[in-house]
Structure 1
């Protein structure tokens, strides 16, 4: 029964992928290749072609590493599912260690995965035109190569360090978008990079993007308390509508400095990501550029609790356990459109 309900949700949620194949990955079930179901992530990858979608279902067993050399879409079931109650009936997270995006993978999109590798990069990308969204990162993203452009990182949660780190003689990334993220640790981007940093919260002590970067920095909340820990370009119209508990920039351009952190966020929500929702009437409420809220829950594509992907999600599934007179088993399914 659960398998057919899941297939129904997938058919509803992936209408836009009607010309590609949907492959299920579940390491708590046996593989059924004729139904495009695999218990091993590597096997699912080997049986995919560019343009396919891998739906990696929640599990209490990590799925390991994967090197991608095709244009694929990977979709997991999010994180913090035991903290944000009532948003998903499946409390298992989709946990992977590391994904490497190699030549051939440009155009890939990754949603709803929990990267749990400790001490090393969670994602290593050698290519541009990549979307990383609604994910949990235990560590940072590493960019390796030259002329890497158009990396989108949004609506994600960084537990330790955020940003796009680089290795060796790698050039700084260009035209990247980093928006609607929660960064609990420090944040680093190589100097002379270009891109957009908007509607994020940065809780770590360090925020370093270099003095020569060409960045748009708007609608962010900075919680680091030491001005000496900030390194950013000279102030101008490209740095506006931000909030900081210190004063790494002036209060011109609609920036707010020396703000009390407790005035910014709601009280009473103790989930790891829910506690960063802004307080109504506070300094972030409607004070961002174009009148939107400052922080990750503002803007046209706000942060989504638990990183739930933008597909229908079953948040309640119930049955009496008893069939009726005609032999049918009544069930009740509640689905959120997300």
Structure 2
């Protein structure tokens, strides 16, 4: 017993020591701002595995990233000017293409405005990011970004595994190999709007060997293809469903995509499901459920005392407006512009924690 206790103490001390040496890096490319780095790739190259990189809001992209290290990359979120009490600075952190290669296992990104993520590594978490690459007037998802799951970069015969894709907005997802441990939950998933509302373009495409848990997503448009996977509590606004061997329950479709067995609903009028666009409603807020929505309490395992809804705002990891990362945020900052020795500058700051 003493030997085991001593071993436990040594392990805990090792973990504490490792955490103590992890560093947080600041990245900002705005003129006149002093930060650790100007681009995301420079920050990656200068950081050590286990470090955290904070990208601050900027109108200029932080460019692409090819990662071979375990890093957590955190941005401020998106649609910050549309949702109240998000960030005092309402500009997002834009990133181009991110590629995860061998060595990046355990990495996470969150709160970014990113165009694409390509995965050649295991144990990657992609959550609370926006993948919209362009808008066209009131069409906010004119072109959508993509997440691609491939194989391990150091062994092309082994597909990636243990991939978490959660709480993202406006994304297409594709897995081309027999990946396992894929969780796709609480996302807004859509093919490009420029293809048209009746598009059969790929929104979610999984290979016949990929086994995934797909729950509480909104499929805005396009084709969903899955095999031998579990689909629960999803809402298909418009689109098609293909594949075999799937377990589907408590999903809602505007047509007959999911059938009517196992709690699935067909031919649902989507104008009754969501609050929809309108004055004071943000781009991502329009997908909240309307009063009396048929998706309320329609989720798997729902009870009167513990209701579970279909759609991206319910269940274990509900979608978070603006993709605000789970770190404290300054959402209000007011400073007196001029002061003196007899009249100090008054500063008002409001900070909140985020789950």
TM range (shorter): 0.7 to 0.9
- 1:234 to 1:250, Cα distance in 2 relative to 1, 3 A: farther
| Structure 1: gaps of 5 or more residues | 1-15, 117-121
Matches of 2:21 and 2:312, distance apart in 1: 33
Residue 152 (structure 1) aligned to one of 159, 164, 172: 164
Equivalent runs, 1:1-338 vs 2, <5 Å: 19-28=21-30, 37-116=36-115, 122-137=116-131, 138-145=144-151, 146-159=158-171, 162-166=172-176, 171-185=177-191, 186-209=203-226, 213-224=227-238, 229-234=240-245, 238-267=247-276, 268=278, 270-291=281-302, 292-323=308-339, 326=342, 328-338=344-354
| Structure 2: gaps of 5 or more residues | 1-17, 132-143, 152-157, 192-202, 303-307
Classify the secondary structure of the residue corresponding to 2:106: coil
- 1:115 to 1:316, Cα distance in 2 relative to 1, 3 A: same
How much has 1:324 moved relative to structure 2? 7.0
Classify the secondary structure of the residue corresponding to 1:110: strand
Aligned positions, number: 301
Instruction: Select between 276-285 and 69-78 the one with higher mean Cα deviation.
Output: 276-285
Matches of 1:29 and 1:50, distance apart in 2: 29
How much has 1:18 moved relative to structure 2? 5.2
Q: Are the equivalent residues in 1 in contact too, given 2:117–2:148 (CA < 8 A)?
A: yes
Instruction: Select between 21-30 and 125-134 the one with higher mean Cα deviation.
Output: 21-30
Classify the secondary structure of the residue corresponding to 2:159: coil
Q: Structure 1 length as normaliser, TM-score?
A: 0.83
How much has 1:30 moved relative to structure 2? 6.2
- 1:165 to 1:194, Cα distance in 2 relative to 1, 3 A: closer
Q: Are the equivalent residues in 1 in contact too, given 2:299–2:309 (CA < 8 A)?
A: yes
Q: Structure 2 length as normaliser, TM-score?
A: 0.79
**Over aligned residues, Cα RMSD in angstroms?**
2.1
User: CA offsets per residue over residues 62-96 of structure 1, 9 Å max, x none?
Assistant: 01111110111101111222332442211111101
Q: Are the equivalent residues in 2 in contact too, given 1:142–1:164 (CA < 8 A)?
A: yes
Report which of the two has the higher share of strand: 2
Classify the secondary structure of the residue corresponding to 2:309: coil
